[in-house]
Amino acid sequence: MSRIRYTRRLPAAAIAAGLVLALAACGGSSSTSADGAAPSAATDQLNPNADLSKQSLNITIWDGYSPKDLPQRVKEKLGFDVKVAIHDTNEMAMAKLATNTDSGIDVGFVSGQYAQALNEQGLLEPLHPELIPNLANLYPEASQMSFDKGNKFSVPYTWGTTGICYRTDMVKTPPTSWNDILNPPADLKGKVTMMTTERWLALPALKYLGDSINTTDDKQLAQAKDLLIKAKQWGMLYDDTTFGAKLDKGEAAMVEAWDGWCPTTNPKIKFMVPKEGSDLWSDTMVIMKSSKNKEAAHAFINFILDPKVHSWVAENILYKVPNKAAMDLVAQNDKPLLEKNAPLKMTPAELLKGESIIDLGEASSKYTRLATEISAKQ
Amino acid sequence: MPRRRMIYVPFWATYVFLYTPIIVLVVMSFNAGKSPYVFEGVSLKWYGELAGDETIRNGLINTLIVAVGATVLSTVLGTLLAVGMARHSRSRLLDALGLLPAILPDIVLGIGLLVFYVTVKMTLGLHSVILAHTVFGMAYVAAVVRTRLNHADTSLEEASRDLGASPLTTFTRITLPTLAPGIAAGALLAFTLSIDEFVIAFFTSAPTEPTLPIVIYSMVRFGVTPEINALATILLAVSFTVVIVAQRMTRLTESLS
Amino acid sequence: MAGPSTGRPPRRSRALGSAAARLVFLGPGLGYLIVFLIVPLALVLSYTIFKRGRFGGVVYEATADNFGRLFDPLYLDIVISSVRTAALTTLIALLIGYPTAYVIALLPRRWKTIALIAIVMPFWTNFLIRVYAWIILLSGPGLVNNALTGIGLIDKPIQLLYNEGTIVTGLLYSYLPLMILPLYAAIERLDPQLREASANLGARPARTLLSVTLPLTVPGILTGCVFVFVPCLGNFVVPEILGGGRSIMAGNLIRDQFLKARDWPFGSTLALAVVAILIILLFLQAWVSRAYGGIEGRRA
């Protein structure tokens, strides 16, 4: 190579290097300021009389988790446009919401521990309860979940527990313990699934061992890992999104499931909570600090908490809602629905016996590693 | 000669392998039943469902916006770059740089751009996907146009320059018309690649503006629905038409030139 | 044309024009590549020496941990096993792709075009839908199981999904055309007289293939192998959809560091490890191609 060629390349290299340094410098300063910011500090002054028709909302939610005509209903009632984005898992939602750039999302639907993580990062707007009068419809228990005591930054949309969902015609002895799914009978091979999201992947093993599902103890996690690896070597499959449909079609016989996703409308399918106990999860609504439509966001959450709106969730996707007024409405309108679907009848007191998954901060990487170890094991 | 025929076994196996899944998709898209496995009679109902699916329609519109945007940018930048590389530079490093986006694994480009956007605090949206798709689109346009340039006769350009025409005049009056078929082919390639691109869009799109592959990804994750079969069939029909038209067009331009 | 009427001496105009032209033609493209390719890659490179931020991003404190973790048996095993899966896919693609490309190259002109378009056609449908089609084919009540029970090979559906074989099938299906096209180009370019000479000297077709065609198409083979191997290594969709969550490849690992673990520095390090493998392969390919190019050169 000639020297001329080298010198010709120099300016380009210098520009590139300069740009990188400049970017690194500005990125650096911003990252320290983000770390230094106290969560839930500096509250925006919101105007309760703001003209909502001048605002519009972007929300992100699981597919099929809200009424299809929700945007039209909000438009009619509150006068602003709602655009619905879909995420398939909490992790997908977090990837978009937690990157520090303005994602364009105003209201996010994420599970409790993820809401907690977003808040610790200073990304959430503290709620203004005076703009959400319908908070009064919630069960008192709904403000006692450990990821957000007092609903400071999140409003629960649904809640429930994790258990075993199974087909009575394919599983000979009904499951009673988490061990029944960790160590299933040989004839169910290829028909048993557990969840892949790391904390719920670890749950059956930790609960079976009698440990907290929020443990960070290396020894307990190592024991749980052994159980999970044994289950995988037996032939466990992993599924977070389609286990309900598989069970319905008979492609699966026994799955680890969130109660609402267990298709109990099929008379051959039952849901049970193992005797070792389980969790209390909640999918919550949060308002992003980057939102420019915070008044509309509050109005939207308030609208969701309207019993007539919120009861849709229980009636159509069979998830319990932490909204007393809405659940009363369901009991009044559609008693047979409750009778047929046992999980819907769990009371708040029963639910509160479950342990809430909380964000573990730095230690959460232990669970990521655990999950990676399970998937890498052949 | 049995030995001679032996070689046709893998040949036909390849086509069977490539087309069995596609035939199944197409057939099942006309299934009257809900099951993706058992055919229960002919019906167009899944096409109706598809037409009424707002998420898919939005995804399709977003994809088309991204593809058109990225194609325009890629074509302009890629053509200029190809001419520059072929006529105004002899740097092999530059050649390698021009090809890099085409060989780099998608995931590396995807996370690189995500990191970049986050660092410069750019809000994600369709524009961020357009800019991302232009990176590889440009590389493909440049590669295709350059092949054409290398085969092109330079005497006209030289004559133009000798007559005192400015490089710009030479470019617009002589080079560009010669390159037109190459530019069209490059643009078509960039457009197709952008329409089907998933990984880079996955990292650089905003949650509010998913492209069609991202919508399909979340649909597939939520299980097998006959609606996806209908979508696949339509995409196939459209690409098939495009291939045939493109084929005709190249033959036409070839016979003209 | 406006040129001559400007009255400038042609020579000067050309010299000036050349510097300006370089800026006009190379400037935009090069600038774009620097901003949207070189800078992002440089950022990824710089991330490898920093600590992770708790919620993604980085803390600008230098550390060598990320490189150390690359050799953590957990991650090393995943990378090695995905290299193995990618290599297996590449090998199978070569074994069925070569004869296919060979037959296509010998077809009459008209059929050749049709055969080639037919190879590329599946590429024109959505990548995810192509992968997903295999779920329909291989699942319990799916077509393959039905066919197997139909001909009495098995008496009840067997588990065909969710293992390494399924992943290899999915990868092969996604990237086989990328193997066939460069092979076809290499075989097609060969002088048919060489094959005729070999046949005239009494060699059987198989022998001609092995001792004449094959060695002369080594550069094409290598190109095809790189084209298949590299995207296999970075793919995370196929293992996810067809692997039943039981397998993890390098692509998943990288994606998960960004999406789940929010450990951007380590994710960047893994991504660069994949790029490093790619660079080694490209050098190897260039080196071997040059060696074989020499043989071809001598022939001419």
The answer to whether residue C12 scores a pLDDT higher than 50 is no
The answer to whether residue C67 scores a pLDDT higher than 60 is yes
Rounded Cα–Cα distance for residues B197 and B180 (Å): 25
Whole-angstrom CA distances from C166 to A186, A285, B246, C172 are: 23, 39, 35, 10
Cβ-contact C204, C280 below 8 angstroms: no
The answer to whether residue A41 scores a pLDDT higher than 50 is no
**B91-119 pLDDT, tens digit each:** 777 778 888 888 888 899 999 999 899 88
Q: Determine the Cα angle at C35 with ends C33 and C41, to 5°.
A: 85
Which residue pairs from C232-236 have beta carbons closer than 8 angstroms and sit at least 24 positions apart in sequence? Answer: C232/C82, C232/C85, C232/C86, C232/C89, C232/C90, C232/C171, C232/C175, C233/B105, C233/C82, C233/C83, C233/C86, C233/C274, C233/C277, C233/C278, C234/B105, C234/B106, C234/B107, C234/B108, C234/B199, C234/C274, C235/C171, C235/C174, C236/B107, C236/B199
- Specify if B182 maps to a domain: yes
Nearest partner of C47 among C35, C61, C33, judged by Cα? C61
**B157-182 pLDDT, tens digit each:** 778 878 888 777 877 888 788 888 78
Rounded Cα–Cα distance for residues B115 and B137 (Å): 20
Rounded Cα–Cα distance for residues B198 and C126 (Å): 9
Is domain C82-248 given the CATH code 1.10.3720.10 in the classification? yes
Q: What is the mean pLDDT of residues A271-299?
A: 93
Maximum Cα interatomic distance, chain B, rounded to a whole number of Å: 73
Nearest partner of B145 among B101, B194, B190, B104, judged by Cα? B190
What are A59's strand-pairing partners? Answer: A84, A107
- Specify if B44 maps to a domain: yes
Residue B52: CB atoms within 10 A of its CB come to: 10
State chain C's mean pLDDT as an integer.
81
**Res A133: pLDDT:** 94
> How far is Cα of residue A176 from the mean position of the Cα atoms in its chain?
26
Amino acid at position A123, single letter:
L
Q: Contacts of residue C21 in chain B, CB cutoff 8 Å?
A: 84, 87-88, 167
Cβ within 8 Å of residue B79, ≥6 positions away:
B141, B142, B145, B176, B179, B183, B186
The per-residue DSSP string of chain B comes to: -HHHHHTHHHHHHHHHHHHHHHHHHHHHHTBSSS-SSS---B--HHHHHHHT-HHHHHHHHHHHHHHHHHHHHHHHHHHHHHHHHHHS---HHHHHHHHHHHHS-HHHHHHHHHHHHHHTTPPPSHHHHHHHHHHHHHHHHHHHHHHHHHHS--HHHHHHHHTT--HHHHIIIIIHHHHHHHHHHHHHHHHHHHHH--HHHHHHS-TTS--HHHHHHHHHHT---HHHHHHHHHHHHHHHHHHHHHHHHHHHHHHH-
Question: Token pair of A363, please?
Answer: 């230690």
Sheet containing A254-258, strands listed edge to edge, beginning at the edge strand earlier in sequence = A237-238, A192-194, A254-258, A162-167, A269-272
**Res B252: pLDDT:** 61
Whole-angstrom CA distances from C12 to B162, C5, C18, C19, C61 are: 12, 15, 10, 11, 54
B104 touches chain C (CB under 8 A): yes
Instruction: Give the range among A71-85, A186-200, B234-248, C214-228 with minimum mean pLDDT.
Output: B234-248
Domain that holds residue B129: 6-256
Cβ-contact A175, A254 below 8 angstroms: yes
Q: What share of chain C has pLDDT > 90, as a percent?
A: 21
The answer to whether residue A298 scores a pLDDT higher than 90 is yes
**Res B45: pLDDT:** 86
- Specify if B86 maps to a domain: yes
Would the CB atoms of C97 and B132 count as touching at under 8 Å? no
Instruction: List the 175-214 stretch of C: residues with Cβ below 8 A of B.
Output: 176-177, 180, 204-206, 209
Question: Token pair of A89, please?
Answer: 């898992």
Would the CB atoms of B10 and C100 count as touching at under 8 Å? yes
Q: What's the CATH number where B161 sits?
A: 1.10.3720.10
**Res C11: pLDDT:** 42
Instruction: Give the range among A193-207, A337-351, C90-104, C168-182 with minimum mean pLDDT.
Output: A337-351
A216 touches chain B (CB under 8 A): no
Residue A215: CB atoms within 10 A of its CB come to: 18
**Res A205: pLDDT:** 96
Whole-angstrom CA distances from B198 to B63, B193, C49 are: 10, 10, 29
Q: How many domains does chain B have?
A: 1
Rounded Cα–Cα distance for residues B117 and B105 (Å): 19
Radius of gyration of chain C (CA): 25
Q: Contacts of residue B112 in chain C, CB cutoff 8 Å?
A: 37, 40-41, 43-44, 271
Cβ-contact C181, C119 below 8 angstroms: yes
Q: Select the residue of B35, B93, B210 nearest A85 (Cβ to Cβ).
A: B210
User: What pLDDT band is residue B131 in, cutting at 50, 70 and 90?
Assistant: very high
Instruction: Give the range among A204-208, A259-263, C123-127 with minimum mean pLDDT.
Output: C123-127
The answer to whether residue B38 scores a pLDDT higher than 80 is no
A241 touches chain B (CB under 8 A): yes
Q: Contacts of residue A60 in chain B, CB cutoff 8 Å?
A: 207-208
The answer to whether residue B72 scores a pLDDT higher than 90 is yes
Buried b (16+ CB within 10 A) or exposed e, A138-147: bbebbbebeb
Is the predicted ipTM greater than 0.85, yes or no?
Answer: no
The answer to whether residue C1 scores a pLDDT higher than 50 is no
Which residue is associated with the tokens 């692509």?
Answer: C251
Q: First-to-last CA distance in chain B?
A: 44
Instruction: Give the range among A105-119, B127-141, C25-39, C108-122 with minimum mean pLDDT.
Output: C108-122
The per-residue DSSP string of chain C comes to: --GGGG---HHHHHHHHHHHHHHHHHHHHHHHHIIIIIHHHHHHHHHTTEEEPBTBSEEEEE-SHHHHHHTSHHHHHHHHHHHHHHHHHHHHHHHHHHHHHHHHHHS-HHHHHHHHHHHHGGGGS-HHHHHHHHHHHHSTTSHHHHHHHHTTS-SS----SSSHHHHHHHHHHHHHHHHHHHHHHHHHHS-HHHHHHHHHTT--HHHHIIIIIHHHTHHHHHHHHHHHHHHHHH--HHHHHHSTTS---HHHHHHHHHHTS--HHHHHHHHHHHHHHHHHHHHHHHHHHHHHHHHHHHH-
User: What pLDDT band is residue A362 in, cutting at 50, 70 and 90?
Assistant: confident
- Specify if B222 maps to a domain: yes
The answer to whether residue B151 scores a pLDDT higher than 80 is no
Nearest partner of A27 among C57, B80, C290, judged by Cα? C57
**Res A29: pLDDT:** 39
Chain A, chain B: beta-carbon pairs less than 8 Å apart: 76
Would the CB atoms of B121 and A88 count as touching at under 8 Å? no
**Res A33: pLDDT:** 36
Phi (first) and psi of residue A61, to 5 degrees: -150, 160
Q: Which of B1, B8, B16, B18 to mutate to test the interface with C (most CBs of C within 10 A)?
A: B18
The answer to whether residue A70 scores a pLDDT higher than 60 is yes
Question: Token pair of A172, please?
Answer: 């000979």
The answer to whether residue A327 scores a pLDDT higher than 80 is yes
Nearest partner of B133 among B51, B67, B223, B81, judged by Cα? B67
The answer to whether residue C171 scores a pLDDT higher than 60 is yes
Burial (CB < 10 A; 0-12, 13-18, 19+), residue C295, is exposed
C125 touches chain B (CB under 8 A): yes
Total-model pTM: 0.83
Q: Select the residue of C95, C136, C205 nearest B24 (Cβ to Cβ).
A: C136
Q: Contacts of residue B120 in chain A, CB cutoff 8 Å?
A: 23
Q: Which residues of B sit within 8 Å Cβ distance of A?
A: 35, 55, 91, 93, 114, 116-125, 206-210, 215, 217-219, 221-223
Q: Is the dihedral of CA A329, A334, A339, A340 positive or negative?
A: negative
- Specify if B1 maps to a domain: no
Would the CB atoms of B164 and C3 count as touching at under 8 Å? yes
State chain B's mean pLDDT as an integer.
83
**C176-190 pLDDT, tens digit each:** 988 998 888 888 877
**Res A136: pLDDT:** 94
